[in-house]
Amino acid sequence: MSSEIGKIWCIVPAAGIGLRFGENRPKQYLPFRSSTIIDTTIKTLLLCTSLEKVIVCLHPDDEHAQQSDFIKHPRVHVVIGGNQRSDSVLNGLQSIQTDTAKQDWVLVHDAARPCVRLADINKLISEAQTHQQGSILAVPIHDTIKEVDNELAVRTLDRTKLWRALTPQLFKLSDIQGALLSAKKQSRVVTDEASAIEQLGLPVRIVEGHADNIKITVPADLQLANMYMDQQEEQSCA
């Protein structure tokens, strides 16, 4: 990777407890393929040679990381996450403060997205580097989207302008740190890094990714993710 983009640090928020999934352990530690969701995710991230280190943000009461493969990897570093996803990312940023330089970038990827493709990660990095802009993977929305209030559709959004935001999301370190701190100071809830960047009026470039890069949220997602991984493996053998 050229030096003009600086080093790229990877942060994996994994401190959620997966309430919506309703299992006896956080969803990222559920079995997936031959390992777990989180190990599958981090294995792909580690294949990306542009990433300096992978910082994994864990819940303070995490009981599963020690049995995971990622914990033994020399490019992985673990930190304690926070109450919100954005607090977890801020803790990750804080932990690398002394190792980073002004021109460095940060790539954030959800632990719960194990189907991410190395090719999409590399495409995102290449686009951000070419345009020198914060960039996110996203997919266009083909369904008609309704705004609903009290079980009534109140508005239909213009779907030609709608994209589903995925991760990874890649930003200049100073931008993402400033944006997340500003959102926190003003008690603004951000569900992804890009929304914090948008709130500061900074550009967020949309890079089309694959729709199979789903976030595992409910049990049905796990079956779907398994099927997507089968398809990816078939395609790579073809």
Residues lying near ligand C5P in the complex (CB under 6 A) are found at 13-16, 28, 57, 81-85, 88, 110-112, 215, 217
Closest contact distance (angstroms) between CB of 43 and ligand C5P is 15
Is the CB of 5 or the CB of 37 nearer to ligand C5P?
37
**Residue 143, C-beta contacts closer than 8 angstroms, at least 6 positions apart:** 159
Closest contact distance (angstroms) between CB of 87 and ligand C5P is 6
Is the CB of 129 or the CB of 209 nearer to ligand C5P?
209
Is the CB of 153 or the CB of 218 nearer to ligand C5P?
218
| Distance, CA of 184 to CA of 186 (rounded, Å) | 5
Closest contact distance (angstroms) between CB of 40 and ligand C5P is 13
Closest contact distance (angstroms) between CB of 167 and ligand C5P is 8
Instruction: Detail the DSSP E strand segments found in 4-109.
Output: 8-14, 31-32, 35-36, 51-58, 76-80, 105-108
| Distance, CA of 238 to CA of 234 (rounded, Å) | 6
Is the CB of 10 or the CB of 57 nearer to ligand C5P?
57
Is the CB of 84 or the CB of 129 nearer to ligand C5P?
84
**Residue 169, C-beta contacts closer than 8 angstroms, at least 6 positions apart:** 107, 108, 109, 134, 135, 136, 137, 192, 193, 194
| 179, 89 Cβ separation under 8 angstroms | no
- Structure tokens that stand for 9 in this block: 């640090």
Closest contact distance (angstroms) between CB of 11 and ligand C5P is 9
SS3 120: helix
